Amino acid sequence: MQKVKEVMSTDVQVISPDATLAEAAKAMLKCDFGLLPVGENDRMIGTLSDRDIAIRGVADGKGPDTKVRAVMSEGVQWTYEDDTVEQAAERMSKHQIRRLPVVNRDKRLVGIVSLGDFAVEKSELQPAANALAQISKP
């Protein structure tokens, strides 16, 4: 079974909870990211997605100077780089998320895996495809 480290993106940046939404949005635009892990004191304390900015930020009337901390998602879900793609897909399905931070066994951030990263050989990933189908249901 394929491992997460074989399909994940290793180009990942962390943003401070004290950064502004404008700074976060600019970083996402520049690097074409849809998710930024939020780090404080060398720990991941949350994630900030483009959806967080849109729904918890803009739609709630918050401006570009609002701090990331005010709209980030807490309770970080993650997967190990040596987990199988199926395990990561099941976690994503269970928590209804489309992107997942990836850590090594020392719990250091090493990448991000997204639904698009799972677009590989279907026969090997049928269980993962079934898990992911749950995310796509309305």
Strands 35-40 and 43-49: antiparallel
- Quick one: average pLDDT of 21-31? 96
17 compared with 12, residue with greater pLDDT: 17
The percent of residues above 70 in pLDDT, for the chain, comes to 86
Q: Is 115 helix (H, G, I), strand (E, B) or coil?
A: helix
Dihedrals φ, ψ of 49, to 5°? -105, 165
Name the nearest CA neighbour of 99 among 55, 53, 48, 56.
48
Helices (H), the chain: 21-31, 50-52, 85-95, 126-136
This prediction has a pTM of 0.80
CA 35 to chain centre: 5
